[in-house]
Amino acid sequence: MVAGLVALTGAALASRGGLAQGFPSRPLRLLVPVPPGVSSIDLVGRTISGAMSDVLGQPVVVENHPGAGGIVAAEAVLRAPRDGHTLFMGGVGSLVDAFLAAGRPPLDPLLDLQPVGRITRDHWLVAASHGLGATSVAELVALARERPRLLTYPSFGIASPFHLAAVRFCRAVGIEATHVPYRDSYLADLVAGRLSFVVQVSPPLQPLVAEGRLRGLAVLSSARLPALPDVPSIAEAGFPDLLHNLGVVLYAPKGTPPAVIERLNAALNAALAVPAIRARLAEGGMEAVGGTPADAARFVRWNLATNEEARAATLADGR
């Protein structure tokens, strides 16, 4: 694997005139905004770091900098030299939300950071408790319209990614429901029927749906998930425009030389092309993406706009 990756990326860079010669000149730091082992973001970092090390010829060392919703890690990257040796990986909207919630100057992932490339795409799931009695999105909508704001959904806090995803879902399907913020896991309450439904990334929900402890209503993607073949896509459920694809992006500090960004992007794409890495990410409920820095910037821009719409709706509703 190592030899193949190095040959692939070396040839790609040579074809571009041998850009970024001399980079990297020392080990790279990959800052992750969560504690070890508690998030898919940490899994992604540890999955790709070894293969990127093989390509770049220097270790890519994962450093966990949890705290303040990602602010701690992001500020460390913003203070780092703009030479490509310090990188940051994280979600799109959650970091901006954390800066806003903390009352700090807003961080713009496109003005303050340079997207290197997309790493993964998340798959989101709408799941309901069996006590709700809904077996489809249409039935959930009918129940919610009969009982405005009596149905409940959880998240990890106001304007958190799960909250914004649920707000966007409710607005798209035309229902009103009540948000219940949690500090810790809410899955036990959802299974017990003390909550009505949830909109969140699929990995924590997949085993509960597969075991029949929750009912999967729809995947917010364009196709069904292989792990949950009986759960329809949101398009099949009648809402083809309600796709919710977040994911993890690799960033460097703004001002990093373009040739270095190109080299990092080539290393990332080479890593994501390795079948074992793609399989490992899939086991975690994620899909390897890759692409150019421009692709990543477009993805970030679209997600920021989507999050802003949901955030504005949340503020307008006062919940």
For the sheet with 113-122, list strands across it: 60-64, 28-32, 86-90, 247-253, 113-122, 286-288
pTM for the complete prediction? Answer: 0.75
Count Cβ atoms within 10 A of the Cβ of residue 111 and give its class: 0-12 exposed, 13-18 middle, 19 or more buried: exposed
Q: Which residues contact 158 (CB under 8 A, 6 or more apart)?
A: 179, 181, 314, 319
163, 181 contact by CB (below 8 A): yes
Of 29, 122, 34, nearest to 79 (Cα)? 29
Output the DSSP codes for 88-101. Answer: EEE-SHHHHHHHHH
The single residue listed with the structure tokens 């009103």 is: 176
Domains and CATH numbers, the chain: 2-121+246-301 (3.40.190.150), 124-244 (3.40.190.10)
Catalogue the long-range contacts made by 233-239 (C-beta closer than 8 Å, 24 or more residues apart).
Answer: 234/126, 234/137, 237/136, 237/137, 237/138, 238/137, 238/138, 239/137, 239/172, 239/173
| pLDDT by position in tens, the chain (length 319) | 544 555 555 555 444 434 467 899 999 999 998 888 767 788 899 999 999 999 999 999 999 988 877 888 888 999 999 999 999 998 766 676 677 667 777 778 888 999 999 999 888 999 999 999 999 999 999 999 999 999 999 988 777 778 888 998 999 999 999 999 987 789 999 999 999 999 998 888 989 999 999 999 999 988 898 889 999 999 999 999 888 877 899 999 999 999 999 999 999 999 999 999 999 998 877 889 999 999 999 988 887 777 676 666 665 554 5
The single residue listed with the structure tokens 């106001």 is: 158
| pLDDT digit string, tens, across residues 135-160 | 999 999 999 999 999 999 998 877 77
**pLDDT score, position 108:** 82
